[in-house]
Structure 1
């Protein structure tokens, strides 16, 4: 395949090239635990709102480029009620057709060619594409289990840190399941206030915090001077197919995203916005139910793995287990082994960065009966450890 020079620099999307591929599996029925697609249906209130909105003739015409005022007001109310964060609905909110769009587009709106961007390792695979598209330089932001997968900016090369104009953070973490504290966000904001460096916090798994509620970076004093947060409806509200999210925070960064989308997105379909309003109105009570579902799954998995001395990173938030591979296997080799021997599909850690080489990522977004079967099959291989 012949691509342009810039597309040749972007690695193929791991999930884009692997989802839907034909798999060679063992004799048992396949259990797919590779993708974080919620296993429960979208809320009935969301479906009802969507059905009604489809018949509204105003939703079948061109809409406002930057979204309905009612949707932006719902986001404003949701952040106030959920995190105590005040937002200006006209200057501090950008509606996104899926949070991935915002995460990839943000460097185009924030850095100049040659500027540095710190990317977490291990971290979400598609951050890099945005840096390359913006002609930026990407630097390694190392994350270590012994430091709870929270970055220490003093671990970054001083010259690279001086050239950094954008930092990606992601808590709860995909793939490690680590969470951030309010104290961490306070310190990060304070460190980069008054500099040219900005922060984007990928808050896709906001709903899932098993020891305490996950903080928003915007709760930290002065955060709007330096940070935007990108929130997804896909995970917490079981709406992955709807492809709706939003960015909130620093008004200069939001203005850049809005301007870019004025030329690329031409407004979100009104019916999707109406359905999303219905989701946000469900608020924290619905998200608490979601969190409790995954807390129970987390507790079961951690208990059984601990009992059988199978090593893993502590799962404090999100929906993924970061599972250590047995000695002699890297992530890709262990994925192949589990497919052939147990018909289990998990994700190798290597696409998430070099520090993921000896891990696999396991999604807990499956029915409880499948989770039980996964554990039974994995325990058949415990002697590998």
Structure 2
């Protein structure tokens, strides 16, 4: 590999996914609370669409480069139905999973030396894209006193002058916090007439627990300032399918499509048919998915809070954010949990420096294991007292 790629730190989540038998686990059965993949199957309508599409000879050929008209129509209908946002074809890019484009986007949009604001705490792999673009990473602090929303007034003017992109992610991984339409309104007003564009990672769109979580495009209806990146992985239990899309600002979308014209030959028709089925027939599934995780978060937050474990309220998403006991940092406490309670959690430090004294736990485990995990945390609650 070249020197630039060598300079990029290892992906934390790649290492997690290759954990082996050398883990120092205690005597109890392991409960993996680090996984970020919902634990149920994809919708039956999706799997039936796959079975049917596999037998269609048209899906054995190269597909069109920029997605089937039926796929784009399904996206347009979905955003109109759920968010009252009117998209056109020029506002849509089909993605081969969303993580790859979230990492690649700085490489195809900014010039070397330009700045990208990344949330801290925020998803770990955003930073790799800035490094590979030879860009400059600027911290977007998410502070509890501001409800874990960025305070744009606190940003340095010299950074703002050099910045080209801001990444946002609500509902938040790892914080479990949400954004209001008023926040998105303010964000768009602030940046729409500047050289800074917004990338909103909407991976946990289905998991807003105080009503449907707003889309940033509701605040940017003429698509002047933002794109939104929507994933099938979490909302529809389709993480293995590697399908998603970006919608919004025409210039940003065209950059994605032009890049993919050179690097892809179009999404497999079977995956497009699966995605179409999810968007057109999956509204009830999304509601059920939200209800499952809402019940889990209420149980976990209530039980741990009552026992004295300082878990933050989970307003959206599928993760809990817990401050570790005095005498630990996130990494040492993850080691303690694994050895003493056979619980695998995620340390907060991969999400940024502000996660140093926290761990992240996932709600994406079966209910009986979640109940057992609660009991194990309650058994060590005195550590926080």
TM range (shorter): over 0.9
Task: Using structure 2 for the length normalisation, give the TM-score.
Answer: 0.98
- The answer to which of 182-191 and 23-32 deviates more is 23-32
- What SS class does the counterpart of residue 45 from structure 2 fall into? helix
The residue aligned with 1:20 is 18
1:282-321 matched pairs, under 5 angstroms? 282-321=281-320
2:220/2:226 contact within 8 Å kept: no
Report what 1:327 is aligned to: 326
Deviation at 1:223, TM superposition (A): 5.8
Distance 1:147 1:131 in 2: 26
How many residue pairs align between the two structures? 382
Write out the 4+ residue segments of structure 1 that deviate beyond 4 Å after TM superposition: none
Q: For 1:289 and 1:282, how far apart are their aligned partners in 2? A: 13
> Aligned residue for 2:169?
170
- Using the alignment, how far apart are the partners of 2:134 and 2:259 within structure 1? 16
Equivalent-residue separation in structure 1 for 2:158 and 2:7 (angstroms)? 24
Q: Distance in 2 between matches of 1:52 and 1:283?
A: 17
Structure 1 residue aligned with 2:69 = 69
Asked if the contact 1:236–1:290 (Cα under 8 Å) also holds between the matched residues in 2, the reply is yes
Q: Secondary structure at the match of 1:166?
A: strand
Q: Name 2:201's counterpart in structure 1.
A: 202
1:286 offset after TM fit, Å?
1.9
Q: Is the 8 A contact 1:189 1:223 kept in 2?
A: no
Cα-to-partner distance string for 1:172-204 (whole Å, 9 max, x where unaligned): 000000000000000000000111100000000
CA 1:223/1:102 → structure 2, altered by over 3 Å: closer, same or farther?
farther
Structure 2 counterparts to residues 238-317 of structure 1, below 5 A: 238-317=237-316
The alpha carbon displacement at 1:133 in A equals: 1.4
Pairwise CA distance, 1:20: 2.6
Write the mapping of 1:48-197 to structure 2, written as runs, cut at 5 A.
Answer: 48-89=48-89, 91-197=90-196
Q: C-alpha displacement at 1:163, in angstroms?
A: 1.0
CA contact (8 A) 2:43 2:282 kept: no
Shift of residue 309 of structure 1? Answer: 1.6
Deviations 1:50-93 (A, max 9, x none): 0110111010111101111111111111111111111102x110
Displacement after TM superposition at 1:105 (Å): 1.4
Tell which deviates more after alignment, 20-29 or 244-253: 20-29
Q: Which residues in structure 2 correspond to 1:211-222 (within 5 Å)?
A: 211-222=210-221
Contact kept in structure 2, 1:117 and 1:131, CA below 8 Å: yes
Give me the CA root mean square deviation.
1.0
In the alignment, structure 1 residue 11 sits paired with structure 2 residue 5: no
Deviations 1:196-223 (A, max 9, x none): 1000000000000111210000000456
Partner of residue 369, structure 1: 368
Query: Secondary structure of 1:335's partner?
Result: helix
Q: For 1:214, what is the secondary structure of its paired residue?
A: coil
Quick one: distance in 1 between partners of 2:257 and 2:33?
A: 35
Question: Matched residue of 2:309: which SS?
Answer: coil
Higher mean displacement: 58-67 or 150-159 = 150-159
Report SS of the residue matched to 2:49.
helix
Task: Quote how far apart the aligned CAs of 1:129 are.
Answer: 1.0
1:43, 1:285 → 2: CA distance? Answer: 10
Residues 116, 136 of structure 1: 8 Å contact kept: yes
